[in-house]
A = this chain, B = another copy of it.
Amino acid sequence: MAPTSTEKIFSEFREHSVAEFFKKNQQMLGFSGKTRSLTTIVHEYVTNSLDACEEGGILPEVDIEIVEMDKERYKVIAEDNGPGIPEKHIGKALGQMLAGTKFHRYAQQRGQQGIGASGCTMYSQITTGKPVKVISRYDTRRITCEVSIDLKSNTPLVLNMVKDEGEFGHGLTVEGEFADVKYDKSSFGVYEYVRRTALANPHLQITLHDPEGQTHSFPRSSDRIPDKPLVVQPHPMGISTNDLIDFAHRERECRRISSFLQERFARFSAAKVDEIKALCPDVDFDKNPKELQWVEAEKIVKAIQNPQVRWIAPATDSVKPIGKEQIEKSLKNILAPEFVVVSERAPKIYKGGIPFMVEAALAYGGGAGKKAGDMSSSEVIRYANRAPLLFDNSGCAITEAVKAIDWKRYKLRNFEEEPLSVFVNISSVYVPYTSAGKQAISNDEEIIQEIKNAIMEAARDLQAYLSGIRRDHDKKERRKAILRYVSQLSHDLPDLAGKGKAGDIEKKLVALIETKYSSQIESEEGEEEAKSGNGKNGKEDEGEGEE
């Protein structure tokens, strides 16, 4: 029983790289299931292209080609017209985990971890043994090379580099070969991913060349380049003790905690510093932020969150929505529905300090909803910061919100079977995903409520539209039914009354019915407009909040 082997047990002690870790835990990066793995690859490349174009102020053009090489083995070629990657960064950008430009920034972007594209490089390597081929064009340069990862050390291996000078324009091409993946047209597949990306990014021109040789083009419906992501100051209400310590110890300019608070956080005026000071009498606000201790930071955070201290809500200009017109154009362009409505709402705040904004749209009839033969069914198209969320549907706040709505109130008799697309996009610097796969938004009550309100706002317009159609439809049916009897009636009446001719009576009867029904339709339509105009009914809904 003597623990003689303690040293021996630990003789096998080793350190491992993050690349080895993710090789063992591929599912954490979205590499689980053959279809999902291929979608993950396309997602990572498209996401990088969109972020890079936005940074460079370029209208994005992305071309995805998927070539079947063998059973469950495909080549993916992703090409964009973005700013390219400078020579010295190519290796790390595509061949090192946790390296990138976005990890520490407080701005609304799609990618964040600096893992995506390197994860694809790893997946190519471990399923086919091949590096990815890269062509980066920028300034007057074209760099061609192959990149793989030394998994043991998580360092990039760059091979066969060729450099050319000339007018090559700008952009990046990545080509990888992957096994254990599958192309299919399911709602989890690449085609659906590309279609949904096009829907939420009207400024994007994207083309998919599928393995069957078909080309699917989604032309842009808007020439407006989205604004660059804004790096914003965090709002005090969104700050934890640990964040405050991190910021303070990283501080290089401010010499005092008081000035550090004012300079680095939104809405932290000199008056606010005084308020906080008064609540933390034993914290020295004149000392260097580098020397801020945990207990002091804890007191400051508690004071910030004290209900007596009233904060101005954070500026919401960090939130970059798609825009009402853009969504409308895009849905019309791609779904060609009979009716579209987009709700336009102001940004809101959750957890007291984090701004977010919900955009919701409903597209009805025509190409909206899912089709299977003659049958239509509704679909919910979820986005976070314009990136489609295809997986983990059931755990998502958007799904929860859609389910919680009493669709019958909005004239949708059987929600599941309507030709309806429900489009929801959540924009925020900090989207609370349920996991690192970034496929579902966590069930925060404030967020669910706002999603519901946004959808219900759109649903009221859809209801008005449907009421019009339905009443129209009902009246046409009634008119048809009456007319069917008119002919018989007009023949029988002369026999009964003994006067006039059948033809005359029939004409008169038809004219009577036509007048009656058309005037009635007009007057009710007028009434309907007036109703939806004052919108009283609508506003009440929102107040109620269907829990």
Contact = CB atoms under 8 A, between A and B. Distances in A.
A473 interface: no
Contacts of A298: 129
A297 interface: yes
A5 B55 contact: yes
Given A3-B139, A6-B56, A242 B126 contact: yes
A3 B81 CA distance: 9
Contact of A27 (B83, B100, B435): B435
B28 A245 contact: no
A127 interface: yes
Copies assembled: 2
Contacts of A2: 170
A13 interface: yes
Contacts of A24: 103, 113
Interface stretch (A14-22, A412-420, A482-490): A14-22
A94 B166 CA distance: 54
A21 B98 contact: yes
A105 B55 contact: no
Given A21-B113, A436-B27, A12 B126 contact: no
A14 B104 contact: yes
Contact of A99 (B4, B13, B82): B13
Contact of A13 (B20, B101, B241, B294): B101
A138 B6 contact: yes
A114 interface: yes
A455 interface: no
Contact of A98 (B17, B57, B93, B113): B17
Given A129-B298, A242-B127, A436-B27, A6 B84 contact: yes
A138 B3 contact: yes
Contacts of A99: 13-16
The number of chain A residues touching the other chain, given as a range, is 35 or more
B55 A170 contact: no
Given A3-B139, A10-B101, A294-B128, A15 B96 contact: yes
Contacts of A89: 10, 13
A298 B16 CA distance: 26
A342 to B, nearest CB: 29
Interface in A423-446: 434-436
Contacts of A113: 21, 24-25
A320 interface: no
Interface in A111-126: 113-114, 125-126
A169 to B, nearest CB: 8
6 nearest A-B residue pairs (beta carbon)? A129-B294, A3-B170, A3-B83, A6-B83, A6-B138, A18-B18
12 contacts: A3-B82, A5-B56, A6-B56, A6-B170, A9-B55, A10-B86, A13-B101, A14-B103, A15-B99, A21-B98, A28-B435, A129-B295
Interface of A: 1-7, 9-10, 12-18, 20-21, 24-25, 27-28, 52, 55-59, 82-86, 89, 92-93, 96, 98-101, 103-105, 113-114, 125-130, 138-139, 170, 240-242, 245, 294-295, 297-298, 434-436
Given A10-B86, A20-B98, 20 more contacts: A2-B170, A3-B170, A5-B56, A5-B57, A6-B86, A7-B86, A9-B55, A9-B56, A12-B105, A13-B89, A13-B93, A14-B104, A15-B99, A16-B98, A21-B98, A27-B434, A27-B435, A129-B242, A129-B294, A129-B297
